[in-house]
Amino acid sequence: MAIALLAPDRDLCGLVKALNAIDPELDLRQWPDLGDLSQIQFAVCWHPPKGILAQLPALKAATSLGAGADALLSDPTLPKKLNIGRLSGPQLSADMSRWLVARVFAHWYQLDRFADQQRDRAWQPWAPSRAPHVGILGMGVLGRHVARAFQALDITVSGWNRSGTGPVDVHMYRGQEELLGLAGQVDYLICLLPLTAETRHILNHQLFAAMRPDAVLINVGRGQHLVEADLIEALNQQQLALAILDVFDREPLPADHPFWTHPSVVVSPHCAALSQDQEVAELILESYQRVKAGQTPLGLVNRQSGY
């Protein structure tokens, strides 16, 4: 039984090394050198070439290399009954929480101002008079971890998801109307949704019109959640104060994209939480063992809801 690694845009050297260190007997086939396709029973994918999974006759299951499975699911030739999993471990959740806590507090405490003051040898003590209110869209594996991280710092957290249920002490919202209600209350609105037919373009002019003029949007979900032109218009109209964007419709973000230079946009290159080789290697092998034993892959995705 062979495992196909289908991630054309990624350097997989570290991952292959970590997998071989755990199990030197593994039969790993890395795109495009897949050998005899009929021997491949498990596939690990990150933006896999469209149509490839349908060409693997013995494939039992596939997994996304990361937490989001949207790129895998977007292949129209994906076999209808194929079980799809995703990989998300404690380190990924912790990294996402740390990154978001760092972003929110660097902004709330205006840490940049002290660098300016130091340059000018100015002694001007300042601190915000209250704590921020954080709203999280998506209260799944990552959203719940992030909520707990902020709560541990005595921050009020509100959340939004489909079911309306969330962690203790998180005021939960659901549905489109309640989404706008939440957007109007928070200082930071964090998008941690999966990309599905329902969530595509959810960060749009209607949402921005509901936000407070001093509020900050943080998108760490997917670029396709955002209507980019709506955001630029809303920032220019001062409907919100700032957008911190880690994910984009086109990645890498094209060099001539207006986000690079917009004074109210902060860009980072899709690295709020990077899948780390050792954690992912362990998760791949756990998922593979489950599939070999006739079980579903780790993080089984509901093909109907898309997450």
Residue numbers of the site for ligand NDP (CB under 6 A)?
A: 66-68, 88, 138-143, 161-163, 192-196, 198-199, 220-222, 246-247, 270-273, 307
Nearer to ligand NDP, 59 or 92 (CB): 92
| Closest distance of CB 17 from ligand NDP, Å | 22
| Closest distance of CB 199 from ligand NDP, Å | 5
| Closest distance of CB 197 from ligand NDP, Å | 9
Whether 262 sits among the annotated catalytic residues: the reply is no
Nearer to ligand OXD, 89 or 135 (CB): 89
**What φ, ψ does residue 70 adopt, rounded to 5°?**
-60, -40
- Return the residue nearest ligand NDP (CB atom): 140
Joined tokens for residue 247 = 């994910």
Catalytic choice (103, 222, 225, 290):
222
| Closest distance of CB 227 from ligand NDP, Å | 16
Query: 64-74 burial, b for 16+ CB within 10 Å, e for fewer?
Result: bbbbbbbbbbe
199 binds, options ligand NDP, ligand OXD, none, Cβ within 5 to 8 A by partner type = ligand NDP
Catalytic choice (10, 174, 270, 303):
270
Nearer to ligand OXD, 41 or 161 (CB): 161
x-or-dash string of contact with ligand OXD, 191-230, rule CB under 6 A: ----------------------------------------
| Closest distance of CB 65 from ligand NDP, Å | 11
Nearer to ligand OXD, 40 or 247 (CB): 247
| Partners of 157 in beta bridges | 134
Select from 137, 275, 291, 307 the one that contacts ligand OXD (CB under 6 A).
275
Give, as ranges, the residues between 38 and 97 that touch ligand OXD (CB under 6 A).
66-68
Joined tokens for residue 103 = 């972003």
140 binds, options ligand OXD, ligand NDP, none, Cβ within 5 to 8 A by partner type = ligand NDP
# binding residues, ligand OXD (CB under 6 A): 4
DSSP assignment of the chain equals -EEEEE-TTS--HHHHHHHHHH-TT--EEETT----GGGEEEEEESSPPTTSGGG-TT--EEEESSS--HHHHT-TTS-TT-EEE----HHHHHHHHHHHHHHHHHHHTTTHHHHHHHHTT-------SS--EEEEE--SHHHHHHHHHHHTTT-EEEEEESS---STT-EEEEHHHHHHHHHTT-SEEEE-PPP-TTTTT-BSHHHHHHS-TT-EEEE-S-GGGB-HHHHHHHHHTTSSSEEEES--SSSSPPTT-GGGT-TTEEE--S-SSPPPHHHHHHHHHHHHHHHHTT-PPTT---TTTT-
Distance CA 217, CA 264 (A): 11
Whether 205 sits among the annotated catalytic residues: the reply is no
The answer to whether residue 159 forms part of the interface with ligand OXD (CB under 6 A) is no
| Closest distance of CB 190 from ligand NDP, Å | 10
> Mind telling me the catalytic residues?
222, 270
**Residues near ligand OXD, by CB under 6 A:** 66-68, 275
